Amino acid sequence: MVSAGFDRMRKVPCSAHDIFVNKTHSLILQFGLLFAVIAATPVLAIKPGWLGPQLLTLVVALLLVLLPSAPEADVQRSLEITKPLAATALLPALWMAVQMIPIPLGSIDHPIWRSAAAAVSESLSGHISIDLGFTLRALFGYLSLAALAFVTAVLTRDRVRAERLLFGICTITTFAAIELTLLSELPALKSAYAPRDVVRPLLALAAFGSILNVAFVVRTNERYKTRGSREPHSLHEHIGMMLAGIGGEVICLIALVHLASPDTLLAAAFGVTAFGLVVLIRRLNFSRWTAATVCTAVAVACAGGVALRFAANPGLSPLFRFANVVSTDDATAALRMVSDATWAGAGVGTYGAVAAIYRDATGAPGETAINTVMLLILEWGYVGLLATIALLLQLIATLFRGALARGRDSFYAAGAAGCLVTASFEALCDASFTELAVQMMAAIIIGLGLSQSIGRRPA
């Protein structure tokens, strides 16, 4: 009996140790999967194919299955952070579901259903989406991206993991900038791999890198100020990290200056300006009214730059004045599509099906939309466009508020807010933010920014 009692006593600590080891291994696996998603973005930017969405769904499913092993406090805190955004984030998903619901003809269905009913002389039951399969796939893709952002927020509540993830994102976006430069310069690769459908997502990743590398430099400087006096040997590490961040920033800027249009450069500059504004307000410790005055002045200056660029292309439709490459045929066909668009849209993910209807002698729409805003109008309709804008504005406001409220870790939220500012303006320049690689990177950046917008201790 005594021996049995000692056996039971020995089993209890072993079981607790096993649980701790299993949770640690699970966290390592989750973080490894997250890094795999980041590393895959430059590859998916070149050749997304049909396998990309399936791989994203599989990875997100694995991350969600392993999520219970994450620290409970981090999960609860992440839920508190994302709870105010939940209602707005659900609006796009609910709208996609509405687009797939069968409805009587003549109400809010797409005109193609009424034309088909007249052609076959039979009554048809339609729905807003003209292709349910594509809209259903888009719904699963949106939910996967939302889940990816939440899982990232949970995994990066720990400061060490957040720093590693920021370094990983900076490395991959810098690699994307190098990749972009090589694909555009090497003659053997230029003809095969440098169409604008490849250049656009790589440019978007390089624009993210131009903002986050600055955030990494600020992070390195902040860490050295807090730890340098206690750890004199960290000077070499500090110099190495500073050189890495500055080098990544230079590479991203070279790629953007060399290959991006003036409007895309302006979008990236707005993101860097937004990040620098937060750093300036924090460093100089502005009062609330002084900060509001400075922000207003910067906003007016940016609006002036946008107005000048808008007036530079008076011959184009206002929807395409910031677009990078617009031929006359593409613009004509796109305007016909937009003029026929209803307030309910044609269904998310159905651009290819809609464009096929407009291929005639007067002009053929491009295989991809000219810019993201045009795609939102055609697929989402004005209802979905407003829902998307509302979510974007709420995310930017949340990240800016978190960046100004945080202490030394404010650069995470500020960097994510700067990336969203760039995304907002670049949506008028091209359709890069409809690419899976850019969407995945944006979801991870948003999750990282949200996770560090509030400290680990309750406010």
Q: How far apart are CA 102 and CA 125, in angstroms?
A: 6
Q: What is the pLDDT of residue 55?
A: 83
| Residues 36-70 as b or e (16 or more Cβ within 10 Å = b) | ebbebbbebbbebeeebbebbbebbeebeebbeeb
Which one-letter DSSP state was computed for residue 361?
T
- The SS3 call for residue 294 is helix
Q: Which secondary structure element, helix H or strand E, spans residue 25, and what is its range? A: helix 2-46
Closest CA to 426 of 207, 196, 264, 257: 264
Query: Do residues 246 and 217 make contact, with C-beta atoms less than 8 angstroms apart?
Result: yes
- The SS3 call for residue 285 is coil
Cβ burial of 335 (10 Å; 0-12, 13-18, 19+) is middle
Q: What is the pLDDT of residue 143?
A: 94
**Average pLDDT score over the chain:** 81
Closest CA to 100 of 139, 73, 154, 69: 139
Q: What is the pLDDT of residue 250?
A: 94
Q: State the angle between helix axes of 234-259 and 196-227 in degrees (0 to 180), rounded to the nearest 10.
A: 160
Letter for the amino acid at 421?
V
Q: What is the pLDDT of residue 2?
A: 43
Furthest-apart CA atoms within the chain: distance in Å: 94
pLDDT band at 184 (very low <50, low <70, confident <90, very high): confident
| 12 has pLDDT over 50 | no
At 433, list the tokens. Answer: 């933010």
Strand runs (DSSP E) across 50-174, as ranges?
Answer: none
Q: How far apart are CA 196 and CA 151, in angstroms?
A: 32
Integer angstrom CA distances of residue 367 from 130, 141, 283: 17, 20, 47
* Residue where the block lists tokens 């990177």: 441
Q: Identify the weakest region by mean pLDDT among 24-38, 180-194, 287-301.
A: 180-194
Closest CA to 323 of 426, 454, 189: 426
Task: Enumerate residues 6+ apart whose C-beta is below 8 A from 149.
Answer: 443, 444, 446, 447, 450
Task: Enumerate residues 6+ apart whose C-beta is below 8 A from 118.
Answer: none
- The SS3 call for residue 273 is helix
Mean pLDDT value across residues 233-262: 86
Mean pLDDT value across residues 426-449: 91
Query: Do residues 68 and 92 make contact, with C-beta atoms less than 8 angstroms apart?
Result: no
Q: Which secondary structure element, helix H or strand E, spans residue 47, and what is its range? A: none
| 145 has pLDDT over 70 | yes
Q: How far apart are CA 275 and CA 269, in angstroms?
A: 10
Sign of the dihedral through C-alpha 41, 42, 43, 44: positive
Letter for the amino acid at 336?
R
CA 189 to chain centre: 28
- The SS3 call for residue 360 is strand
Highest mean pLDDT among 76-90, 92-106, 324-338: 76-90
At 243, list the tokens. Answer: 């050189």
User: Could you read off the pLDDT of 324-346 as tens digits, one per residue?
Assistant: 766 666 777 788 888 877 788 88
Query: Do residues 62 and 155 make contact, with C-beta atoms less than 8 angstroms apart?
Result: no
| 193 has pLDDT over 60 | no
